[in-house]
Structure 1
Amino acid sequence: MNAHAERFIRTARAECTDQLLVYNEQHLRRVLTEYATHYNSGRPHRALQLRAPADDPDVIPFPAQRIHRHDILSGLIHTYRNTA
């Protein structure tokens, strides 16, 4: 478990907190909560063949006609989703 915790901390620092100015503890908690939600549900994982845990397993991804960008943490992180 220690290796998993260290990996999350290193990733959260590199992708999130090292690029933000944190005002106080409340701001830090809000940022880390939003990042943890993204990390655990919306971020691609290698063990899932680069699919996010929140993706529908019955849907086979294919090139879409339109792709929309969704900003997380006020644009610090971008996710891209297919639209019909």
Structure 2
Amino acid sequence: MLRMNSLMERWVLTCRRELLDRVLIWNTRHLLHTLREFEVHYNTHRPHQGLDQAAPLRAVPTPITEPDQINRLSILRDDRLGGTLHEYRHAA
């Protein structure tokens, strides 16, 4: 129970710092939509130090080992919540 409290405190502080301090919430419906979007971002994209920079619901990406791949590397950015959250990925 004590460990869960610390995990939830960390999540709430992260949510507040990365999202709620940057968004003006209009009503309950907007708040719930914003929190759902942040939850998806947090669990499927945002890197976590304790997981070796992986997201909880995503596997660690394979490292790039060939120099030719690094030269051809391009990055795409996806915006969530109107540009408040940014997600970066390798272009195919």
The TM-score range, normalised by the shorter chain, is: 0.7 to 0.9
Q: Which runs of 5+ in 1 are unaligned?
A: none
Write out the 4+ residue segments of structure 1 that deviate beyond 3 Å after TM superposition.
53-57
Q: Which runs of 5+ in 2 are unaligned?
A: 65-69
The normalised TM-score by structure 2 is 0.80
Count of residues in correspondence between the two structures? 83
Within the alignment, does 1:60 sit opposite 2:62 as a pair?
yes
CA distance in 2, matches of 1:22, 1:60: 38
Q: Secondary structure of the residue that 1:65 maps to in structure 2?
A: coil
Counterpart selection for 1:37 from 36, 40, 45? 40
More divergent stretch after superposition (62-71 vs 23-32): 62-71
For residues 49-72 of structure 1, the C-alpha deviation after alignment (integer angstroms, 9 at most, x for no partner) is 112234344x51324621000111
Which is richer in helix?
2
**Identity %, equivalent residues:** 40
What letter is aligned with 1:83? A
The normalised TM-score by structure 1 is 0.86
Instruction: Point out the structure with max Rg over C-alpha.
Output: 2
For residues 12-62 of structure 1, the C-alpha deviation after alignment (integer angstroms, 9 at most, x for no partner) is 0000011111000010000001101111111111122112234344x5132
Within the alignment, does 1:14 sit opposite 2:6 as a pair?
no
Query: CA shift at 1:73, angstroms?
Result: 1.3
